[in-house]
């Protein structure tokens, strides 16, 4: 394999590893094509640290020539080369862990650093670890994913009266980022859809993503209409939207841009649904930051969280300045508005911003959690993510290539999915009984989305995943999370289903920093994790005995 050409030094002895929550330890460091492996040589303890290179966001190296290198264990027997040069590599991971390796020998240190730098950001999907991960207890023949658009459609009997499953996109030619089957109004045929697709950015024509059983109203999502500077119209697009609200007096369009931004989008060929052409639709603009703004916010937040210099020093101001919590607030309140339109006001809603692959998915997902009890179980939530993020074409590979520590020039990176998980955590905190999954699940997902043994979050769309053979050559994270042992761990022991909508409070006073994730490598987060575990075991124990 070609990985070997990037590995000049595969093994180094006498390396000292420093990592959070553990005392420093000395051992052997080993670099493979996908992993960094550290094995502890201390007597009485054999600890191993296995780190996916993909998890590494940034490294910093410093080498020095030292006479009389004094490592952490100054009285340990020093090998010869330690009295010469040495180096230190600081590894900053996408799961926010920071590790430090003290490596004897300058050359070895540089070799290791070079290997990590190269191997941690290989772009070729088929060379990534999920294609090599073959655990004994999983088979590639196992079912991949939880559901399909077809299954989803057939499970909702209420739909068939007015909605149909279209396979106009079966070869991904109409919209490359959509799945092969989508749900659209009955009265709109495939040739109309093709025309609509040409009028929407990236071909993302309006499709149904949620049907509210209580009143038959729906959430649709799409990308922006390609109205352009000369206010182009598309009769088919207007027809499609009219068919959505057939029999109702109006619908709402939630545009995740400010109206000014929407106006400006016309200059680059985009636009919005004008009042004159879509007279039964009422547009509501809610500006949601995305892309670079979000990524920079994450960087500032993580920097503030990691700043150990003086913890008295204006922490709250730093937290505020990162704006992360205000992004959380905007997302939750826009989702709340969306859910209100559907549940309280009784109207259908179309959601889009510009591309319709980020903020739109964020708020449609949150709104479904708010309204639909089926999405709040462990299985239901994972199925929701599969539908609204994987099948709906959130470009995971572009968005999650780098995280908060990377010095590389940002391209398409943006932590939209992490923002979703944070918002879900806020819901979870405000409604401790209403969600069937645990905080541990959210933390696990936040880690897996950046670096994973599984193929689930690889690629940018269904089409790409098909082309790469992800479903045949990698294992599915969601299936793995639902195995019996894991299922217990990722379930909320306090879960008590409620049919009611869970309306989050979005005041800044009601929102908290997600410490379980952003401060997860601190002693305190560890304590709380242990306490959660204790509570889980307690409840399981009581439950068992009560049944016996």
C-alpha 303/C-alpha 56 separation (Å) is 16
Among 345, 379, 486, 529, binds other proteins (CB under 8 A): 345
279 binds other proteins (CB under 8 A): no
Please state the closest distance from residue 254 (CB atom) to other proteins, in A. Answer: 10
435 binds other proteins (CB under 8 A): no
* Segment interacting with other proteins (CB under 8 A) among 12-20, 24-32, 142-150, 515-523: 515-523
Q: 340-353 burial, b if ≥16 CB within 10 A, otherwise e?
A: bbbbeeebbbbbbb
Tokens 């931004």 label which residue?
261
Among 1, 124, 136, 546, binds other proteins (CB under 8 A): 546
408 binds other proteins (CB under 8 A): no
* CA nearest to 31, candidates 59, 62, 69, 72: 59
Extract long-range pairs of 154-163: CB within 8 Å, 24+ residues apart.
Answer: 156/211, 158/211, 158/213, 158/216, 159/183, 159/208, 159/211, 161/186, 162/186, 162/246, 163/208, 163/211
Please state the closest distance from residue 320 (CB atom) to other proteins, in A. Answer: 4
CB 415 within 8 A of CB 366: no
Please state the closest distance from residue 65 (CB atom) to other proteins, in A. Answer: 34
CB 253 within 8 A of CB 392: no
- What is the distance of C-alpha 109 from the center of its chain? 33
Whose Cβ is closer to other proteins: residue 259's or residue 532's? 532
Whose Cβ is closer to other proteins: residue 315's or residue 489's? 315
424 binds other proteins (CB under 8 A): no
Please state the closest distance from residue 510 (CB atom) to other proteins, in A. Answer: 6
- Orientation angle between helical segments 324-339 and 416-430, nearest 10 degrees: 70
For strands 251-255 and 281-285, give the pairing: parallel
Q: Is 419 helix (H, G, I), strand (E, B) or coil?
A: helix
Longest dimension (CA), the chain: 84
Please list every residue from 473 through 512 that binds other proteins, using CB under 8 A: 494, 496, 498, 503, 505-510, 512
255 binds other proteins (CB under 8 A): no
Please state the closest distance from residue 210 (CB atom) to other proteins, in A. Answer: 17
Please state the closest distance from residue 499 (CB atom) to other proteins, in A. Answer: 13
Please list every residue from 159 through 178 that binds other proteins, using CB under 8 A: none
Among 96, 325, 390, 404, binds other proteins (CB under 8 A): 325
Please list every residue from 291 through 320 that binds other proteins, using CB under 8 A: 305, 311-312, 314-317, 319-320
Please state the closest distance from residue 391 (CB atom) to other proteins, in A. Answer: 27
Pull the structure tokens for residue 91: 């590894």
284 binds other proteins (CB under 8 A): yes
Please state the closest distance from residue 274 (CB atom) to other proteins, in A. Answer: 16
Whose Cβ is closer to other proteins: residue 196's or residue 253's? 253
* Segment interacting with other proteins (CB under 8 A) among 68-76, 77-85, 463-471, 523-531: 523-531
Q: 429-443 burial, b if ≥16 CB within 10 A, otherwise e?
A: bbbeebbbbbbbbbb
Please state the closest distance from residue 369 (CB atom) to other proteins, in A. Answer: 15
Please state the closest distance from residue 302 (CB atom) to other proteins, in A. Answer: 13
Among 341, 401, 446, 449, binds other proteins (CB under 8 A): 341
* Segment interacting with other proteins (CB under 8 A) among 36-44, 96-104, 132-140, 428-436: 428-436
Please state the closest distance from residue 488 (CB atom) to other proteins, in A. Answer: 18
CB 468 within 8 A of CB 458: yes
Please state the closest distance from residue 301 (CB atom) to other proteins, in A. Answer: 12
440 binds other proteins (CB under 8 A): no
Please state the closest distance from residue 535 (CB atom) to other proteins, in A. Answer: 5
363 binds other proteins (CB under 8 A): no
Among 22, 134, 344, 407, binds other proteins (CB under 8 A): 344
Task: Kindly tell me the burial class for residue 270, based on how many C-beta atoms sit within 10 Å of its own C-beta (0-12, 13-18, 19 or more).
Answer: buried
Give the CA count within 13 Å in the CB-facing half-sphere of 63.
Answer: 15
Among 145, 271, 336, 380, binds other proteins (CB under 8 A): 336
Q: Strands, E, within 222-332: which ranges?
A: 251-255, 281-285
C-alpha 350/C-alpha 251 separation (Å) is 8
Pull the structure tokens for residue 187: 């009265």
Q: 153-180 burial, b if ≥16 CB within 10 A, otherwise e?
A: beeeeebeebbbbbebbeebebbbbbbb
* CA nearest to 439, candidates 513, 385, 491, 362: 491
Among 265, 288, 337, 440, binds other proteins (CB under 8 A): 337
432 binds other proteins (CB under 8 A): yes
Whose Cβ is closer to other proteins: residue 16's or residue 342's? 342
CB 142 within 8 A of CB 476: yes
Which spans of this chain sit near other proteins (rule: CB under 8 A)? 252, 282, 284, 305, 311-312, 314-317, 319-320, 325, 333-334, 336-337, 340-341, 344-345, 347, 430-433, 494, 496, 498, 503, 505-510, 512-513, 515, 519, 522-524, 527-528, 531-532, 534-535, 538-539, 541-543, 545-546, 548
């Amino acid at each position: 394999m070609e990985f070997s050409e990037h590995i000049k030094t595969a093994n180094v002895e006498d390396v000292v590893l420093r990592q959070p929550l553990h005392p420093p330890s000395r051992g052997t460091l080993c670099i493979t094509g996908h992993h960094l492996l550290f094995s502890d040589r201390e007597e009485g303890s054999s600890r191993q640290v296995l780190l996916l290179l993909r998890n590494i966001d940034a490294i910093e190296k410093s080498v020095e020539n030292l006479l009389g290198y004094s490592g952490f264990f100054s009285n340990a027997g020093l090998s010869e080369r330690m009295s010469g040069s040495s180096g230190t590599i600081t590894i900053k991971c996408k799961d926010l862990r920071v590790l430090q390796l003290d490596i004897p020998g300058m050359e070895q240190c540089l070799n290791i650093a070079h290997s990590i730098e190269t191997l941690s950001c290989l772009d070729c999907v088929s060379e990534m670890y999920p294609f090599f991960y073959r655990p004994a207890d999983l088979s590639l023949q196992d079912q991949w994913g939880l559901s399909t658009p077809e299954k989803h459609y057939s499970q909702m009997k209420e739909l068939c009266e007015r909605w149909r499953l279209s396979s106009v996109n079966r070869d991904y030619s109409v919209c490359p980022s959509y799945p092969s089957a989508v749900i659209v109004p009955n009265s709109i045929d495939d040739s109309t859809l093709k025309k609509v697709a040409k009028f929407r950015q990236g071909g993302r024509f309006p499709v149904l993503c949620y049907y509210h059983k209580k009143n038959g109203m729906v959430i649709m999502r799409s990308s922006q209409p390609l109205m352009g500077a000369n206010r182009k119209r598309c009769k088919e697009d207007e027809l499609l939207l009219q068919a959505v609200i057939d029999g109702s007096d109006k619908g709402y369009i939630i545009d995740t841009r400010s109206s000014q931004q929407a106006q400006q989008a016309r200059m680059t060929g985009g636009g919005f649904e004008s009042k004159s052409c879509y007279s039964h639709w009422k547009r509501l603009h809610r500006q949601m930051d995305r892309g670079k703004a979000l990524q920079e916010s994450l960087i500032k937040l993580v920097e503030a969280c990691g700043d150990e210099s003086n913890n008295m020093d204006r922490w709250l101001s730093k937290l505020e300045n990162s704006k992360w919590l205000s992004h959380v607030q905007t997302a939750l309140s826009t989702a709340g508005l969306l859910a209100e339109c559907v549940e309280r006001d009784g109207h259908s809603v179309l959601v889009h911003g510009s591309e319709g692959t980020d903020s739109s998915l964020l708020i449609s997902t949150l709104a479904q959690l708010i309204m639909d009890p089926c999405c709040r179980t462990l299985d239901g939530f994972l199925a929701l993510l599969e539908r609204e993020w994987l099948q709906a074409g959130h470009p995971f590979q572009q968005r999650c290539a780098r995280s908060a520590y990377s010095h590389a020039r940002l391209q398409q990176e943006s932590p939209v999915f992490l923002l979703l998980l944070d918002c879900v955590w806020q819901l979870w905190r405000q409604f401790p009984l209403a969600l069937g999954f645990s905080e541990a699940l959210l933390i696990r997902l936040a880690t897996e989305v950046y670096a994973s043994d599984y193929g689930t979050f690889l690629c940018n769309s269904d089409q790409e995943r098909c082309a790469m053979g992800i479903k045949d050559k990698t294992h599915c994270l969601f299936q793995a999370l639902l195995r019996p042992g894991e299922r217990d761990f990722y379930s909320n022991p306090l879960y008590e289903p409620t049919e009611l909508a869970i309306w989050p409070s979005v005041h800044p006073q009601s929102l908290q920093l997600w410490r379980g994730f952003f401060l997860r490598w601190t002693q305190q987060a560890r304590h709380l994790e242990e306490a959660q575990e204790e509570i889980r075991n307690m409840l399981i124990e009581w439950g068992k005995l009560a049944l016996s």
